[in-house]
Structure 1
Amino acid sequence: MDVVDKFEVERTPKSILVVDDEAVIRDLCARALRGYRVLQATDGEEALRLFGKGGIDVILTDVMMPKLNGIDLLRRLKEIEPTLVVIVMTGYAEKEIILNALKADADDFITKPLNLLQLKTAVDKALDKKALKEEIANLKSMDRLKSNFLSLISHKFRTPLTTISLFLQNLASGVYDPQDPESRKNLELIYGQSCYLESLVTELLAFSRFMDAGERTHLEPCRLDEILRHLARTSKEAASKPDVETVFDLDPLPLLPLDREKITFALSQVINNAFKFCYDAGTVMISLKAEGEGCRIVVQDSGVGIPREELPKIFEKFYQVDPDGAGQIRGFGLGLFYAREFVKLHGGQITVDSEPGQWTRVVITLPRLGLAGEQPVYPAAASPL
């Protein structure tokens, strides 16, 4: 996000949803909250519908309303978004109502008849509280991700290191005969494990570099058809399955201004996964077509597929599809996460569809990027600058 985008976000007025079955109360709140974007709902059900559209920062709700009362609305909202700030307006001083609101995690109370200064102050405090809640939630999420990542690294490194350590112990003890086929087999195994360790370290360094780079991009003229052919022909996953047929259907599109490293990484993750999960005698099809003012890349394999319930998770950090349930899938589960981020940086989209036991299809669409040397056209929200 550039400086202009940040300024626009800061300048955009916060949205306050006022929920009350009395029009005079809603209008009074709207007048008191000038400078904010005020939406109104006559009952809890209408409030849920408006909240579902997104963009609500604070909710002011009455307690006694038809259809869905304020306490039940409060509970439903907190289930959907725990960091949401809800202020309860009530003309009732009953201890039970206040206790129920507190149990439902109400953030503040305003008594009726309303004091306009108190109302404005309460909303200002609520917005500060919401920002603090979101910051705490982000910190907790980062801490959880760090913990998960360290655990994952430990697990991924443990198996090859243990295998290599045992072999070296045997070698130190003299239990090795270069003429023995079994010893040579073990040596090949150790070499494979050391190569795997090297690949893990390379991945970690790449991910570290990507995290440091953030959303910065370096655009240069690229030919997508050449990149796709090169990735398929140099894929280690493809080399491990010589009987898998690779079918190309690539249109020679004009040179496109892309971040070569990032788009190559994204495409390599998709292509490697296609070969990795393809059946040993299957097919991987790779196509590139002009589509409207942009282009469309499709990578489809005839492989094990992905269960429907797992499709929404595959772009999450550290998530790995494990069709055999063995827990031995290589890598860190970050490839598709960064693939999606890098495609989004180019203003594009990446989607996955699959039929378990038959095929998986990944579709990447990129917007009109123009000829090399032209200024690329990116959607404003996905600007790479």
Structure 2
Amino acid sequence: MQLTQQADLSQRLERETKTILIVDDESVIRDLCARALHDYNTVQAGDGDEALRIFERGGIDVILTDVMMPKVNGIELLRKLKEREPTLVVLIMTGYADKEIILNALKEDADDFITKPLNLLQLRSAVEKALVKKALKEEIANLKNLDRLKNSFLSLISHKLRTPITVISLFMQNLASGVYDPDSPTDRENLRLVSDEACYLGSLVTDLLAFSKVMDTERELRREPCDLAAMIPELVKHVAERGVKPSVKGTWNIEQVPPLLLDRELIMFALEQVVDNAVKFSREGGTYLITVSNQGASCQITVEDHGIGMDKEEIPKVFEKFYQVDAEKAGQIRGFGLGLFYAREFVRKHGGSINIESEAGIGTRVVIDLPTSVEGAS
């Protein structure tokens, strides 16, 4: 099993050229390492400060660093790198057999050691092992993240289901005890509340089924010609039929745009999440507007409401899993906080973008840009 996993990792690593950052204050050493690692992209830095600046730009897979350097030495660099990215693999080059240096490097989570003078075969072997180790670290981190998300999701589901189930259960217990008067205004109101909670419970199950169908963000797009002029009215009708806020009405203004090659299921899902939010956060009797315009290289879809809006600092958070805006601080926001996360994933998968403008008490405007060609999309 372990051999199979390592073989899979090795094959994955071969698919793309990795980038190695070589850090040493001796240019001769850097050049020798770069020549030995000619199968990889190599980047060089003369000291720890320069290495940190290069790393911050992104795209570095493994760092090979000397210990004794001016400004920021190799151990300090190791510590700062691990603080920024714990799964990063850092190899330490040293000509010193000092146990204290080795221990300090191990304390800062050094991944391997290469002794000077360098053995170039040993260097190549160490880098190959480092890349496999990095892939394993990332897989473990992803599994831990998935486990955390699973626990968060189960906790959220339990919380969302508890209130409607409790309301329905208590009412049914009263019925079973004979405590119900059809002529009592209070009992009739309670019956209406139970009916609302049962409908809400049904909508939660519907949402869960919808999310289960699209949660595989890795699947290939199933593109087909899509006519937005037909899709938008269909979407507005579907959202209205869900009855989230029947008094909120949707309108649309659609320019003539050519059919786009889209994955209809994923894009309709993304648009539905945006429109559903426009309805949910509109005031009773409010309206929202969907505008479709031709921008040449892209088609722009705008969903605008005049509802409760949100504070600007909340805007980046709404794309996080399970995050929900609770502008009225009621603690009773319906839904799972997953819609906009998946909406952004699916729009990006098409090579597009989604942006939000909002102001508390004024309303929200969501702008989706989809390219008119399939170039640049995954």
With structure 2 as the length reference, what TM-score do the two structures score?
Answer: 0.90
Q: Contact (CA 8 Å) 2:323, 2:337: kept in 1 or not?
A: yes
Query: What is the alpha-carbon distance in structure 1 between the residues aligned to residue 69 and residue 168 of structure 2?
Result: 69
Q: Show the counterpart of 1:145.
A: 149
**Higher deviation after alignment, 63-72 or 289-298:** 63-72
Q: Contact (CA 8 Å) 1:238, 1:276: kept in 2 or not?
A: no
Q: Show the counterpart of 1:378.
A: 375
* Inter-CA distance 29–209: structure 2 relative to 1 (3 Å threshold): same
Q: Contact (CA 8 Å) 1:353, 1:361: kept in 2 or not?
A: yes
CA offset at residue 330 of structure 1?
A: 0.8
Q: Show the counterpart of 2:296.
A: 292
Aligned-pair identity in percent equals 63
CA offset at residue 212 of structure 1?
A: 5.3
CA offset at residue 46 of structure 1?
A: 1.3
Q: Show the counterpart of 1:172.
A: 176
* Counterpart code for 2:51: A
Corresponding position: 1:117 with 2:121: yes
Q: Contact (CA 8 Å) 1:232, 1:238: kept in 2 or not?
A: no
Corresponding position: 1:73 with 2:77: yes
Query: What is the alpha-carbon distance in structure 2 between the residues aligned to residue 8 and residue 78 of structure 1?
Result: 24
Aligned with 1:302 (options 301, 306, 320): 306
Query: What is the alpha-carbon distance in structure 1 between the residues aligned to residue 298 and residue 280 of structure 2?
Result: 29
**CA offset digits 1:147-179 (Å, max 9, x no partner):** 111111111111100110000000000011112
Partner of 2:329, secondary structure, is coil
Q: 5 Å matches for 1:223-302?
A: 223-236=227-240, 240=245, 242=247, 246=250, 248-280=252-284, 282-302=286-306
**Higher deviation after alignment, 232-241 or 168-177:** 232-241
* Counterpart code for 2:34: A
CA offset at residue 190 of structure 1?
A: 0.8
**Structure 1: gaps (5+ residues):** 1-6, 370-376
**Structure 2: gaps (5+ residues):** 1-10
Q: Show the counterpart of 2:4.
A: none
**CA offset digits 1:294-351 (Å, max 9, x no partner):** 2101112223223333222212222211212332111111111221122123221111
**Higher deviation after alignment, 352-361 or 174-183:** 352-361
Partner of 2:215, secondary structure, is helix
Q: Show the counterpart of 1:4.
A: none
Q: Show the counterpart of 1:15.
A: 19
Query: What is the alpha-carbon distance in structure 1 between the residues aligned to residue 79 and residue 364 of structure 2?
Result: 40
Query: What is the alpha-carbon distance in structure 2 between the residues aligned to residue 56 and residue 85 of structure 1?
Result: 10
Aligned with 1:101 (options 74, 88, 105): 105
* Inter-CA distance 135–8: structure 2 relative to 1 (3 Å threshold): closer
* Counterpart code for 1:217: L
* Counterpart code for 2:370: L
Query: What is the alpha-carbon distance in structure 2 between the residues aligned to residue 250 and residue 238 of structure 1?
Result: 24
Q: 5 Å matches for 1:34-49?
A: 34-49=38-53
Q: In the comparison of the two structures, how many residue pairs are matched?
A: 367
Partner of 1:118, secondary structure, is helix
Q: Contact (CA 8 Å) 1:215, 1:345: kept in 2 or not?
A: no
CA offset at residue 72 of structure 1?
A: 1.6
Corresponding position: 1:26 with 2:30: yes
CA offset at residue 240 of structure 1?
A: 2.0
Q: Show the counterpart of 1:209.
A: 213
